[in-house]
Amino acid sequence: MTDEEEIERIRKTLGQTKGKDIKERFHACVMDASYRFKGKVMPEMIKQMMEDEEDREYLLGNVNHVLEDFFYNGSTLANSGFMKRVKEYSEEEYKKLYPRFIEFLFRNKIFDGNDNLLETITLDGAMTSRMGKLVEEISQMQGCDSSDIEWAGAGKYSIAYKVGSKVIKLARERLAEDIPDHPCVLKPMYDKKVMANEEKGQEEYLEVEDYLEPLEKTNFKENERIVLDLFTKLRKSGYCWIDARADNVGKTKDGVHLILDRDAIYKEQYFREHKDEIGKKITLGNYERFEQLRLDELGAQK
């Protein structure tokens, strides 16, 4: 089914399920969970519901229920267009709901190696206010709006959003505490440990950095070459990049490739001494594969 056909089905389904519970209507529209992430489908659902007076009143009057049952996490909220639709409908309503949107967006879900949810880090009021102001300030500096926030990705310990040409990232932990000052590694403009939830004593790393274009997923061979080149340059400088993969690399406007996810890079001696401990936190498979590729390349040059 094409996006256009899916959108038309959504229009009919929303009409037929009018007045029913939001979660029931959601599942009736997107029976396959994968549709949540389709570019046009979720925004069309929001558009249709915000244009209908009764639906709009329900959405705005039951935001907690809507966020918890309608959206999978901050990624689907950011991609849905809901914040933008609320802002277009009423600046006052958007201002009232903005702290709740921010709190939901920056929830940090922590998974284990088997993708089992371990815990969810929820921002307290003070941190929600801080993050809301940060998003607004970065938006204003670039001539855009806080409702323009976009999903930028997540890792095992982190969650990130794009605001204009900048990325705001919250990370629960770091595999390596010291981020290397190396030309192959993206340098954040802001990097500080902050209290995410004072009552629970939960701290997170707050970073602001330039947005880099991701590598094209279809170009496997070229991506392998790029990753190997960065991996080799780090090894020559005495570093071991444990999570070496294309998803952790981005490209600047000038076409320079840099490592985005910096917290799995260790000094070689430290890595050798703590290899078993590190291996319990993150798989060493990527490191071992690119280390072998590097050695094979060195052997071929002799």
Of 108, 105, 106, 104, nearest in space to 119 by CA? 108
Q: Supply the DSSP string of 68-87, one letter for each residue.
A: HHH-SSHHHHHHHTHHHHHH
Residues contacting residue 188 through CB under 8 Å, at least 6 positions apart = 207, 208, 209
Distance CA 83, CA 149 (A): 9
**171-199: per-residue pLDDT in tens?**
887 888 777 889 999 999 999 999 999 99
| Spans of all domains in the chain | 1-99, 106-211, 214-301
**285-302: per-residue pLDDT in tens?**
999 999 999 999 988 876
**132-149: per-residue pLDDT in tens?**
999 999 999 999 999 999
Over range 33-58, report the average pLDDT.
78
Least confident of 157-166, 168-177, 219-228, 237-246: 168-177
Split at pLDDT 50, 70, 90, the class of 19 is confident
- Average pLDDT, whole number, for the chain? 89
More confident residue, 278 or 178: 278
Distance CA 147, CA 87 (A): 7
Element (H, E) at 33: none
% residues pLDDT > 90 (the chain):
58
Of 149, 177, 180, nearest in space to 163 by CA? 149
The single-letter code of the amino acid at 270 is: Y
Give yes or no for residue 96 having a pLDDT over 90: yes
Dihedrals phi, psi of 267, to nearest 5 degrees: -65, 140
Over range 263-270, report the average pLDDT.
92
pLDDT computed for residue 6 by the predictor: 78
pLDDT computed for residue 14 by the predictor: 85
More confident residue, 76 or 140: 140
Give yes or no for residue 38 having a pLDDT over 60: no
Neighbours of 226 (CB within 10 A): 16
pLDDT computed for residue 152 by the predictor: 92
Over range 103-115, report the average pLDDT.
77
The yes or no reply on domain 214-301 and CATH 1.10.510 is: yes
pLDDT computed for residue 138 by the predictor: 96
Distance CA 106, CA 108 (A): 6
pLDDT computed for residue 186 by the predictor: 94
Token pair of 211, please?
């947005």
Q: Which pTM was predicted?
A: 0.86
Distance CA 178, CA 158 (A): 17
Are 33 and 52 a contacting pair, CB within 8 Å? no
Which single residue is written with the structure tokens 């709006």? Answer: 145
Give yes or no for residue 11 having a pLDDT over 60: yes
Are 102 and 132 a contacting pair, CB within 8 Å? yes
Residues contacting residue 54 through CB under 8 Å, at least 6 positions apart = 18, 19
